[in-house]
A and B are shown apart, each in its own frame.
Chain A
Amino acid sequence: QQQVKQSPQSLIVQKGGISIINCAYENTAFDYFPWYQQFPGKGPALLIAIRPDVSEKKEGRFTISFNKSAKQFSLHIMDSQPGDSATYFCAAKVNSNSGYALNFGKGTSLLVTP
């Protein structure tokens, strides 16, 4: 059973536009919510992460918005660039300070057109 539901499956955005990817979860024990970026032929790499004690985290052009009551979080990519074209995975983890594994969404394939 998918514990983290991600949408959309694919996304096409023009250069300079805003890319928005959404995720939802049910398990209220999740307390760490990272986003991973994966380029073709490479392993996923951490992009940005948030904990539920804050509602927003921004790093450069990437922002996570977190809504604890709705059990939803989203990734916003401002001023999207062709180099951002990749697959993005949201994830969630129970007890962030333990060995519990990440639960991943199914991924969003982002294409930024010139």
Chain B
Amino acid sequence: NAGVTQTPKFRVLKTGQSMTLLCAQDMNHEYMYWYRQDPGMGLRLIHYSVGEGTTAKGEVPDGYNVSRLKKQNFLLGLESAAPSQTSVYFCASSYGTGLLNTEAFFGQGTRLTVV
């Protein structure tokens, strides 16, 4: 029972390089989210998706793009990485409907360093 799986777990990028972070969930959840976690800043929402083929901006979307082509996958892209994007990235998913199904499940995180 994998839950939410993030790939890769660690990555070092040079400024200006691009990359894609993959999030996969096997719980048939409708909703998926990308957060970044920085020291003293908590978890800040980058983008989210309420279903296959739909995405929306969160609190800190600049410099990121996302796609949700399949219900189980949510991709986060960095087109031109900057040192300010050095962070730990977390993907989460939730079923979302019904009083008993609000819990968000998080992946293990991707630690990204941009040099």
Answer whether residue A18 sits at the interface, using C-beta atoms and an 8 A cutoff: no
Return chain A residues, CB-CB under 8 Å to B74: none
Question: A99-B50, A101-B48 given as contacts; is B42 within 8 A of A45 (CB)?
Answer: no
Contact with A along B32-50 (1 / 0, CB 8 A): 0101000011111100111
Bound CA–CA A2/B43 (angstroms): 10
When the two chains form their complex, are residues B48 and A99 in contact, meaning their CB atoms are under 8 A apart? yes
Closest-by-CB residue of B relative to A9 is B40
When the two chains form their complex, are residues B45 and A101 in contact, meaning their CB atoms are under 8 A apart? yes
When the two chains form their complex, are residues B104 and A102 in contact, meaning their CB atoms are under 8 A apart? yes
Answer whether residue B97 sits at the interface, using C-beta atoms and an 8 A cutoff: yes
Question: A43-B108, A98-B96, A99-B96 given as contacts; is B41 within 8 A of A106 (CB)?
Answer: yes
Return chain A residues, CB-CB under 8 Å to B97: 97-98
Return chain A residues, CB-CB under 8 Å to B51: 99
Q: CB < 8 Å: which of B33, B40, B90, B102 contacts A97?
A: B102
Question: A89-B43, A99-B30 given as contacts; is B48 within 8 A of A49 (CB)?
Answer: no
Question: A43-B90, A89-B42 given as contacts; is B108 within 8 A of A97 (CB)?
Answer: no
Give chain A's interface secondary structure class: loop
Return chain B residues, CB-CB under 8 Å to A34: 102-104
Bound CA–CA A42/B40 (angstroms): 17
Return chain A residues, CB-CB under 8 Å to B45: 101-103
When the two chains form their complex, are residues B102 and A32 in contact, meaning their CB atoms are under 8 A apart? yes
A-B contact pairs, 25 of them (CB 8 A): A2-B42, A32-B102, A36-B106, A41-B109, A43-B92, A43-B108, A43-B109, A45-B106, A46-B103, A49-B103, A51-B99, A89-B43, A96-B102, A97-B102, A98-B96, A98-B97, A99-B51, A99-B96, A101-B45, A102-B33, A102-B45, A104-B35, A106-B40, A107-B40, A107-B42
B residues contacting A by CB (< 8 A) are 4, 30-31, 33, 35, 40-45, 48-51, 58, 90, 92, 94, 96-99, 102-109
